[in-house]
A = this chain, B = another copy of it.
Amino acid sequence: MSLRHALLGLLAEGPASGYDLMRTFDTSLANVWPATQSQVYTELNRLTEGKYLRVGSEGPRGRKEYSITEAGRAELRHWLADTEPRHTVRSETLLRVFFLGNVGAGQARDYLARAGERAAGQLERLRAVEKAVSWDDDNLSVYGRLVLEYGLRFAAMQRDWAEWALAELATRGRVAGGEPEAHQAAAHRAGAHREGRHRPVR
**A positions within 8 Å CB-CB of B:** 2, 5-6, 9-10, 12-17, 20-21, 23-24, 27-29, 31-34, 65, 73, 76-77, 79-81, 85-103, 107-108, 111, 118, 128-129, 132-134, 136-140, 142-144, 146-150, 153-154, 157-158, 160-161, 164-165, 168-169, 172, 176, 181, 183-184, 186-189, 191-193, 196-202
The residue in chain B whose Cβ has the minimal distance to the Cβ of A172 is B142
- B residues within 8 A CB of A128? 202
Which one, B76, B139, B149, B191, contacts A165 given CB within 8 A?
B149
* Closest residue on chain B to residue A103 by CB atoms: B80
Contacts of A111 in B (CB 8 A): 80
CB contact between A12 and one of B73, B99, B118 (< 8 Å): that residue: B99
Whether the Cβ atoms of B129 and A146 lie closer than 8 Å is: no
Q: Are B12 and A90 in contact (CB under 8 A)?
A: no
Residue with the highest number of chain B CB atoms closer than 10 Å, among A93, A129, A150, A188: A150
Taking a contact as CB atoms under 8 Å apart, the answer to whether B138 and A95 are in contact is: no
Contact: A31 with B140, CB < 8 Å? Answer: no
A91 touches B102 (CB 8 A): no
